[in-house]
């Protein structure tokens, strides 16, 4: 039995709110007068405080209360959203996160943050702030009713909560307590809508509330209390004349006719069921483990379907063939749908790095503009999780090594603010993720000197710049003059390389001296199921990822099998090197007549793979190789065929990268 933990539900929602809060604060730092961003920060704090108190996170609620009050003052124009306030708020966000993740964690640090908050607010000179709105000006948030304002007096509020309010954790008592903070209140329960006992639903709030409030115009404050309920509830707020004490003390009649709601309330109430239904159908929170399990089941189904298709192909039973074709169509659709569920916008990853760049900018004293594009590009969730650390290293290197100080940039005729760009774009069946800066660029001479010092290359070795740049990914390699908290130990870039290789991706470096450097990661869209081309070499069968296949041609007759250094094909005027997989894999059997050449490509270029037979295309469920086989670079995994045998999946990126060198050296032995 799966029992939902309310505390964990709160944590999940609080994490999302904290992410929204952090993004809003970073945006607010660039646009301090943006009322929408100020309101967004206030709403996030307000919700965390209310939900925290409801689920027993009292330390969270108590800590957030003072920050909520501060942003309420900003919202009303009494304080400013300056850099100091935003800096303290970002530290507060981190403290809230610690309190939420470890409920019994010590609250050390919270007091110091609140003291800093009070200092910042006290230092804010009201004379230089924007003037507060006039008493009759429209409040920043739309009021709940359009009644004329009263300078001072009594207001009558009547409300009925939405039918699903209790199910989503709304506590009427907490709402009434918040209303009591506005001013003295007299609360009366409205019981006229309570149904008969035999049809009463205990999870539906049948009781309404009448609250008489003594305050100046309370509409904005009431609006804050019902911030997340007002569109789906009945609510009215009107100024009233003074009510005699005797009348105010009279109990509410049990069968009172419900008060008429505000003019806008009936259509809201009428629209609420449809709106709630649409909202409920729009998204569903599912644990990631269930998606992984579903993907595994779909993979097994694809393998079983391949087995059935093979049996049907060998049978003369037309009914069996029909069922096999129908199952193939359904499994293909289920595969695509399941993989679509696993695809996540890469913007969920990009948003994490805004805070990283913000903190690095302050730590290093380098003003930086962080620009992201392509946030809607989707990638398998597993890959996004594993990409976080490599991108952190690349961004830190771009900020620390790439961007110059403001003084050096000014001397070079550049803007004082450096730029770091993080982008993602589809490139065929791959996603290209780039980290670019407008700094000084890579120093090839310095890299070469360091590589020679470390014994990575011989002093007289001739290397192209691109090959030289790849040396920065060697373990222990660093050109930093001194070890700092950010760099200098030679760890980081080798981790990037290993991680990207493990994701069956590639990494490229390009640079222009004085203008900047770009690191581009090219990754497959998914790691689970791919379309593959099944080929035979000797008695073994291998799968080539179909996304890497450009075309298939026949190997012309008369080409010498061991033409060392001259293994090229003329493909429409372009010379393409080719590898005989018999030689690459050390297969002793003689090559068969009329071999085929599969032209594959990657970011490194193109190469032809000579095979004995092209069997056909199939859905390939990728199975990872064991650690014992981790040193075999020519294969990226394995798959189970319909007859139960195993076919190795070729790592086309590795074969393409080694193809040119393999042919140039005239190697006839085995490849790594």
- Among 446, 426, 604, which residue's Cα sits nearest to residue 526? 426
Position 211 scores a pLDDT of 92
Contact 144, 223 (CB under 8 A): yes
Residue 421 has pLDDT above 90, yes or no: yes
For residue 490, what pLDDT is reported? 41
Where does the pLDDT of residue 662 fall: very low under 50, low under 70, confident under 90, or very high at 90 and above? low
Asked if pLDDT for residue 265 goes beyond 70, the answer is no
Phi, psi of 39 (to 5 degrees): -65, -40
Distance CA 609, CA 552 (A): 9
**CA atoms in the 13 A half-sphere facing the CB of 398:** 31
Residues 6+ apart with CB under 8 A from 570: 576
Give the global pTM: 0.60
Complete DSSP assignment for 23-64: HHHHHHHH-TT-HHHHHHHHHHHHHHHHHHHHTT-HHHHHHH
Report which of residues 136 and 573 the model is more confident about.
573
- Could you tell me which CATH number the domain at 346-524 has? 3.30.565.10
- Please give the DSSP secondary-structure letter assigned to residue 198: G
Angle, helix 83-101 to helix 6-30, in steps of 10 degrees? 170
Q: Is the pLDDT of residue 589 over 80?
A: no
pLDDT at res. 497:
83
Tens of pLDDT along 430-465? 788 999 999 988 888 888 888 888 787 888 778 777
Tracing tokens 């709304």 back to the chain, one arrives at 170
Residue 369 reports pLDDT greater than 60: yes
DSSP 8-state secondary structure symbol assigned to residue 185: E
Tell me: the pLDDT tens digits for 318-332? 999 999 999 988 988
Quote the pLDDT of residue 138.
41
Checking if the pLDDT of 233 tops 80, the result is yes
The confidence score (pLDDT) of residue 434 equals 93
Q: Decide if 79 contacts 70 (C-beta within 8 A).
A: yes
What is the rounded CA–CA span in Å between residue 18 and residue 9? 14
The architecture (CATH level 2) of 6-128 comes to: Up-down Bundle (1.20)
Question: What DSSP designation does 249 have?
Answer: H
Q: What is the pLDDT of residues 615-653, one digit of tens each?
A: 988 877 777 777 677 667 788 788 888 777 888 888 887
pLDDT of 480 reads 56
Distances in whole angstroms, Cα of residue 185 to Cα of each of 179, 253, 563? 8, 19, 96
Q: Which of 127-141, 357-371, 598-612 shows the lowest mean pLDDT across its residues?
A: 127-141
Residue appearing with tokens 């110059």:
404
**Alpha-carbon gap, residue 396 to 402, rounded angstroms:** 9
pLDDT at 180 over 70: yes
Lowest mean pLDDT among 8-17, 187-196, 497-506, 523-532: 523-532
CATH superfamily of 529-665: SH3 Domains (2.30.30.40)
- Least confident range from 1-15, 263-277, 351-365, 434-448: namely 263-277
Distance CA 499, CA 401 (A): 21
Do residues 610 and 578 make contact, with C-beta atoms less than 8 angstroms apart? yes
Pick from 118-132, 282-296, 506-520: least confident: 118-132
pLDDT band with cut points at 50, 70 and 90 for residue 419: very high
Higher pLDDT, 280 or 511: 511
User: What are the pLDDT digits (tens) for 40-55?
Assistant: 888 888 888 877 777 7
Tell whether the model's pLDDT for residue 97 goes beyond 80: yes
Round to whole Å and give the CA distance between 34 and 11. Answer: 29
Phi and psi angles of residue 378, each rounded to the nearest 5 degrees, phi first: -100, 145
Q: Where are the domains of the chain?
A: 6-128, 154-281, 289-344, 346-524, 529-665
Q: How confident is the model at residue 134 (pLDDT cuts 50, 70, 90)?
A: very low
- Rounded to an integer, the average pLDDT of 533-555 is 89
**All residues at 6 or more sequence positions from 663 whose CB lies less than 8 Å from its CB, including other chains:** 565, 567, 568, 577, 578, 579
Task: Note the pLDDT tens digit of each residue in 398-408.
Answer: 998 889 988 89
Question: Which segment of 318-327, 334-343, 371-380, 658-667 scores lowest on mean pLDDT?
Answer: 658-667
Tell me the C-alpha distance between 213 and 180, whole Å. Answer: 8
Q: What is the DSSP string of 205-243?
A: ---EEEEEEESS--HHHHHHHTTTTGGGSEEEEEEE---
Q: What is the pLDDT of residue 489?
A: 41
CB of 344 within 8 A of CB of 383? no
Highest mean pLDDT among 130-134, 268-272, 279-283, 305-309: 305-309
| Mean pLDDT of the 574-601 span | 84
pLDDT, residue 106, reads 61
* Partner residues linked to 9 by β-bridges: none
Q: Average per-residue pLDDT in the chain?
A: 78
Give tens-digit pLDDT for 304-318: 888 888 888 888 899
Statement: 289-344 belongs to CATH 1.10.150: no
Are 77 and 129 a contacting pair, CB within 8 Å?
yes
Between 386 and 278, the more confident residue is 386
Looking at 553-618, list the stretches that DSSP marks H as alpha helix, in order from N- to C-terminal side. 581-584
% of the chain residues with pLDDT over 90: 11
Q: Is 153 left (phi over 0), alpha (psi -120 to 50) or beta?
A: left
Query: Is the confidence at residue 128, as pLDDT, over 70?
Result: no
Q: What is the mean pLDDT of residues 228-251?
A: 66
341 vs 421, residue with greater confidence: 421
569-589 burial code (b ≥16 CB/10 A, e <16): bebeeeebbbbbbbbbbebee
Q: Report long-range pairs for 467-475 (Cβ below 8 Å, ≥24 apart).
A: 468/444, 469/442, 469/444, 469/509, 469/511, 470/509, 471/447, 472/442, 472/447, 472/509, 473/497, 473/507
**CATH number assigned to the domain covering 154-281:** 3.30.70
Task: Let me know if the fold of 154-281 is the same as that of 346-524.
Answer: no
In this structure, what token pair is assigned to residue 368? 């930086």
């Amino acid at each position: 039995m799966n029992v939902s933990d309310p505390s964990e539900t709160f944590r999940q929602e609080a994490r999302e709110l904290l992410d929204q809060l952090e993004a809003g604060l970073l945006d607010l730092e660039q646009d301090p007068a943006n009322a929408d961003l100020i309101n967004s920060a206030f709403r996030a704090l307000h919700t965390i405080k209310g939900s925290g108190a409801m689920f027993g996170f009292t330390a969270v609620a108590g800590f957030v209360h003072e920050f909520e009050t501060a942003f309420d003052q900003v919202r009303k124009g009494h304080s400013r959203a300056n850099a100091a306030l935003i800096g303290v708020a970002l530290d507060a966000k981190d403290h809230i996160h610690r309190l939420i993740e470890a409920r019994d964690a010590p609250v050390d640090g919270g007091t110091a943050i609140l003291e800093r908050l009070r200092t910042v607010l006290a230092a804010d000179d009201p004379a230089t702030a924007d003037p507060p709105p006039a008493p009759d000006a429209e409040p920043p948030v739309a009021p709940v009713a359009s009644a004329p304002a009263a300078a001072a007096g009594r207001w009558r509020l009547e409300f009925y909560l939405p039918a699903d309010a209790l199910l989503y954790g709304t506590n009427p008592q907490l709402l009434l307590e918040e209303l009591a903070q506005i001013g003295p209140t007299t609360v009366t329960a409205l019981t006229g809508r309570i149904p008969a006992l035999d049809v009463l639903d205990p999870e539906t709030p049948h009781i309404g509330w009448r609250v008489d409030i003594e305050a100046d115009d309370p509409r904005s404050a009431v609006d804050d209390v019902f911030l997340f309920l007002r569109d789906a509830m009945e609510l009215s707020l009107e100024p009233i004349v003074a009510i005699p004490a005797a009348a105010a003390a009279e109990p509410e009649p049990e069968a009172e006719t419900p008060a008429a709601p505000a003019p806008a309330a009936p259509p809201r109430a009428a629209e609420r069921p449809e709106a709630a239904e649409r909202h409920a159908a729009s998204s569903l929170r599912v644990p990631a483990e269930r998606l992984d399990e579903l993907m595994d089941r779909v993979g097994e189904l694809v393998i079983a379907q391949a087995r059935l298709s093979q049996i049907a192909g060998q049978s003369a039973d037309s009914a069996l063939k029909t069922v096999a074709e129908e199952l193939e169509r359904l499994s293909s659709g289920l595969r695509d749908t399941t993989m679509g569920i696993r695809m996540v916008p890469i913007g969920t990853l990009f948003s994490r790095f805004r805070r990283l760049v913000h903190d690095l900018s302050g730590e290093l004293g380098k003003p930086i503009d962080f620009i992201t594009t392509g946030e809607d590009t989707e990638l398998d969730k597993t890959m996004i999780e594993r990409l976080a650390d490599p991108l952190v290293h690349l961004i830190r290197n771009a900020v620390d090594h790439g961007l110059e100080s403001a003084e050096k940039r000014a001397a070079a005729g550049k803007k004082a603010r450096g730029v770091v760009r993080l982008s993602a774009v589809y490139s065929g069946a791959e996603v290209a993720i780039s980290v670019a800066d407008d700094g000084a660029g890579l120093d090839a001479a310095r890299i070469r000197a360091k590589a020679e010092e470390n014994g990575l290359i011989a002093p007289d070795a001739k290397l192209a710049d691109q090959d030289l740049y790849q040396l920065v990914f060697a373990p222990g390699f660093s050109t930093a003059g001194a070890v700092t908290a950010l760099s200098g130990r030679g760890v980081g870039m080798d981790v990037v390389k290993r991680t990207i290789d493990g994701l069956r991706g590639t990494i490229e470096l390009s640079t222009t001296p004085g203008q900047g450097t770009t690191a581009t990661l090219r990754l497959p869209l998914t790691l689970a199921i791919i379309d593959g081309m099944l080929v035979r070499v000797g008695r073994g069968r291998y799968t080539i990822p179909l996304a890497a296949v450009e075309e298939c041609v026949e190997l012309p007759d008369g080409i010498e099998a061991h033409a060392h250094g001259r293994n090229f094909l003329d493909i429409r005027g372009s010379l393409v090197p080719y590898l005989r997989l018999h030689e690459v894999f050390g297969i002793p059997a003689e090559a068969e007549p009329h071999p085929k050449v599969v032209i594959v490509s990657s970011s490194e270029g193109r190469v032809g793979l000579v095979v004995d037979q092209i069997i056909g295309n199939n859905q390939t469920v990728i199975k990872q190789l064991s650690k014992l086989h981790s040193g075999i670079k020519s294969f990226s995994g394995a798959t189970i065929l319909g007859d139960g045998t195993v076919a190795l999946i070729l790592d086309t990126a590795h074969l393409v990268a080694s193809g040119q060198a393999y042919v140039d050296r005239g190697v006839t032995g085995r490849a790594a």
